[in-house]
Structure 1
Amino acid sequence: MKLPDQNTAYRLFVNGRELAHDGNPTTSAATTVPRWSTQLIPLVALGDTLRLLLQVANYQHAKGGTIKAITLGESTQLTSGLAMDQAMTVFLTGFVLMSGLFFLGLFAFSAMDRPMLYYGLFCVAYSYRVIGTDSYVLHTLFPQIPWFVSIRFEYGSLYMAIGLFVKYTQSLYPRDTHPPIVRVMAWLCFAFAGTVLFLPPMLFTRLMDPFLGLMVAYIGYAIYVYWMAFRRKRPGATFSLMSTGLLLTVFTLILVQYFGFAAPLQIELFVGYVGFFFLQSLVLAFRFTYALNEARYTEKQFLANMSHEIRTPLNAILGFSEMLESAPLNGEQKESLHYIRTAGKNLLTIVNDILDIAKIEAGMLPLESIPFSISSLADSIRTMILPVATDKNLSLVVETDPTLPAIVLGDPTRLTQILLNLLSNAVKFTSQGSVTAQIVNAGETVDSVRIRFSVLDTGIGMATEVLPHIFERFRQANDFTTRYYGGTGLGLSIVKSLTEMQGGWVTVSSVLGKGSCFTLEIPYKLAANPQEPTVDLSVEPQLAATQNVRILVVEDNLINQKLAQQVLKRFGYSIQIAENGQEALDLLKKTQYDLILMDIQMPIMDGYTTTRFIRTTLQSSVPIIAMTAHALASEREQCLQAGMNDFIPKPFQLDELQRIMRKYLPSALKTAPAEQDKPESIPATGFMLEPLLLSVDNDLAFAAEVLSLFLSQTSLEIGQIKQAMAHNDNATIGRLIHTQKVAIRTFGLTQISQLIDSLEARLAAGNDPVQTNLLVKQYVAALEAELPVMQEVLSNLQKDSVAD
């Protein structure tokens, strides 16, 4: 026999024998002891007839007597059913209580998100309702709890839970609730809770029926609020609406049971409760994620604005200092200028590192897949790092595997960034000895190859316990490293991210005081038709070819205006300045321009709006190049979507600006290589004496001898190349440029070395002879442009040798 609780104490007799009691029922309020629990009574050897006598005493509760039915049944079935109900109750209580404690803990960390506080308190309060009512599992587990305490917890927890849920709803969607209504609802709940503290049970239990009516109204109002939040697309409103629907279902079942209409199954209440609390937890989790995404968006905007604000003055600093290099300066001025440029470039590196991290996090760092030569790229990087290594008397060695493919498909920019980062670190942390870069073919298939890069140094090294964390952001070996060597601790994190984005891996091994070795491997596709794009060696145009080119510079910063004027006049262009987009439009209505350099952030009218107006209203197709200090990956796409043709971030290098501009100049104003004997452009001087001196151990006399021999031979070989071109003798051309290859690299002529690689690839593949012939002309012109400089250096060397 299953005996549910009776209000408030009872004694059961079966066939004249007392078989069960709950509390101590007597004929006076003073001696009656109330208690509630659910009991199972075995009925053994009592015959085929049962006469039940139930004595009930109630002096403390508004409702008295039998409300829940006494059940007869098979012993095993009733026992297992009660055990299952109790198990679900205990599980659900733990689930609700832990949810509340979890969100209270989260609130304790920040003390800012009020919905977490109210929801956590609501869960803690309602967890008592789960285990301390209905079948009263808590009373069964802990029979020593006084009834006068448990009855107050039972009623008080309900009033407080509903009041906290009202506050939770208001804090969750404050713009969808009505403060006066919510205030009245909450204070009514807390007033009911106050009656539990100050009134005897016989009185405060009489208030349950009116409160149940209020609770139905509260749930209805909550559904209204969540519906409005759902319509207005508030964060998590869908889950809130679903959970409140479940809560209404649960309370409907509870009310049906309370008024004696039907007894819902425990599993129904269990599923309803679990669904309600789970969905409410999803609401807060969704809000947290939404707030995190908003914070990331704000961070992205901050980085974009920071980029603009920092890069704008950097553009002026680096641009003007670059122009000053060509001015006559004394030794002290040159040294000061060197420090300015070094500091500016260091600051730009820090800004770029921070922005790269932001782009990688946002998944907005695009990877290119273009043909390039790994050997040529390695030579370029060696040339860039060599001066720094030479200043520290370090030996810089770059070893490339002769079996490397001539051309691969990949992202040369990201590979350059990786290797420059590793080699710069190696040089920075090495005071004596050497820095070595090894590039080997780690395995090749029909259409792909894995390239392994290793950077070794004899520097300070790292302790073993540091190595597992060295690729983490803002991590360096120790505080001394940060203070003494500087840096942000972002470089290696960027290296790891860029390597893994390309399908590769990176590891490190190091011995403290002896040096480090960074190894990475990246897969590349093999070029189906091995050829490298023509190397663009554009430099300053001849005045005759550019004096009619009209450039409109739309820029609001005065310093950048002056810099643009000097740079473009130096190129020989005719320029006009507009301080904002509206002024640019006024000028375009009066004058035709060949090209527009457009800043993005400007007062009155920004670059995007101006460009759209030019394309749609003015119906102009004039080339527009975005020239902005922003550097986020989305910036280029936004520029192109607005109708711009290209994008160059500030601060820019002069040759890079010139290269991009030449792509969009009117064809009549360009030198046409196919129609003239001379190539499109003459490359800038790139000869460096330092690599030659390093290779001959600073022997000036021997360096002069090598340089003299090269000049005498090259003059003859250039004539032979021209003659071979006239007879389409590609074999002779290939042989001659190959003999010059080592010397070209020794002299630091990286651009000409890249031309040689491209030519060799074209000659081997038998590409279009017209394009090959054009590339040969570029090579000859580039080499001829270097010869006078080399001759002057040779004369100075010979004078120094005589003086010695």
Structure 2
Amino acid sequence: MDNVQVPFYDEQSLKQYYNALEYLPIYVVKLDLDLNVVWANRFAKDLDENLLNHRCYRNFNPDMEQCTFCPVVRGIASKQTEISLIEIVEESDKIFEVTAIPSFDEEGNIDGVFEVRRDVTVLINHQKTKHEPKSKKVKDERFSADNLLDIVTNELREHSENVLELHTRLGSGKMSQDQKLSYASMRTSIVKMQNIMSNITMMRNLNKGIIKSTKKKMSLKDLIIEKFDYYRSKADFNGNNFDYKFDSSIPAKLVFDKTKIDLILSNLIDYSMTHTTNRYINLLTALVDESNEQVKISIKIKNVGSISIHDTVEKDHEVYVRNNLALSVIKNLVESLDGHFKMTPVSGYGVDIELTLVMKKPFTASRLPMFNRITQELRSKKERIILSEQTGKKKILVAEDEPIGRITLEQMLKNDFEVIFAKNGKVAVEKYFSEQPDLVIMDIMMPIMNGFDAFDQIERNSITRVPIIACTAKVINSEKEYLKSYGFDDYIAKPVNLKTLREMINRHI
């Protein structure tokens, strides 16, 4: 399908092409709770014949941080269907709609998730085309408004860089105090013009999709320090005193759009340096509210501008913001991040500028009990493997209340396995979680807690469990069926036959 050329100017052809996509095979895989691929449809296997040997993130994106936004992880965690658009950048941009549908066992417990993925690149482009305002076609596209603005911006940038270079050379000579003031004023104007052109270019590139939004897990404090280091020398040159304060209660790592936050901070500091008259600029960052999932953060600069700006903002706040490029950029970007922008006139001074932004906390296993249990069980499993490699023996837990039964099984197994015993079902459950055996032989009739109840306790408190073999004095056909339907992995009758037991153990571990 990638080789099909779609004439986007032909609405009817595009519509037919999109309708055809509905009938294309879709990529479907099933994942277990450890995020391992356990099943895949034929279309998915054709794309990657080794798919079943992968973990899902390894096949999709090797960056574990991406799991924070992964609809599959969210689907398992919330037990609800999760839908997300994920962009893959290769030779060309591809956009996939990923739907995660949790699957449940007969008892209603989540046992995995289905991931359904389809390419919606054409659909997204179709929707963009459909919603773009219709305008008359220009014969020569080189003279469209968009192209002219790009050309003008680039040429102005080149001229400003030449003027700034010439200006720097002139400043290297001896100057009087008045000349120094004029020089500083002219340099500020040139830099301001460069910032305006950078804003125009950046916003246009964001709108055109050339610069992608970048949601990343990173430190907000590090980003602010980076801005502070960049603007400090510029502040000294302009005669401003620039400093920042960062609330220590803000989490060390947050998930946010670095491209947009970087642009917001740059414009906020630039505007403050250009318009302030009190020569003191302090960037204040504070924690406003916090939940398990996200934090609300305030970023503020106080007493910016002058009395004339105070009066203008007090008279018509919206008009002033709309007519100032830097403030318009800040406001639009903040609102695109579901934040809030506010300018408050301060009596006798200028204005206070405050941004309120909501940022997500990184996804961690400790925030989800189920994933925490998965982590613990994987760690225990790893420890069992290391121990068995060191000793060369697998560990078997035998739950048996009769001494003669324990002695018999010990004689049968001790040469090839490490054997642990439990006198009743209650002790068996405790030793199952403390000893982490590789297999359990469970007597059914035991005091304090019988084999069925012990099995239930282990099953209820495990994401995954080791094989459990039921051991009972009589195994008639009806009882065999009942043990099998109850969930036991196998069953053996007493008195235990050594050959049968060994074959059974080898089959399961």
Give TM-score, length-normalised by structure 1: 0.25
Structure in which a larger fraction of residues adopt helix? 1
Give TM-score, length-normalised by structure 2: 0.38
Larger Rg: 1
